[in-house]
Amino acid sequence: MTDKFSWDEMEDDLAIQEQRAVAIYENPRGDTVVRQAAEQSPDEDHIVIINRNNLAAFVGALQRHLENQQQHDSAHPRNAH
């Protein structure tokens, strides 16, 4: 194979950007935990705890955010090659 590949030149062609793992689970108190893996140590993970009484509001806000992103993306499509 003679083709040279460079990730630096592929920014516009990337299908999925690199991202740290995210887990969603229930803690012993019944709250929802959103946890993102840290680069080095699990002791440094980023954690958001959503009280079960606020979960529907949180998910609703997340859904509205997604819809806004989709509207923005539709109005501002990426330039085609």
The 10s digit of each residue's pLDDT in 14-68 is: 877 888 999 999 999 999 999 999 988 878 999 999 999 999 999 999 999 999 9
Complete domains list, the chain, with CATH: 19-75 (3.10.450.700)
pTM: 0.70
- Give the helix, strand, coil percentages of the chain, each rounded to 5: 40, 20, 40
Phi, psi (rounded to 5 degrees) for 24: -125, 125
Residues paired with residue 69 on neighbouring β-strands, in sequence order: none
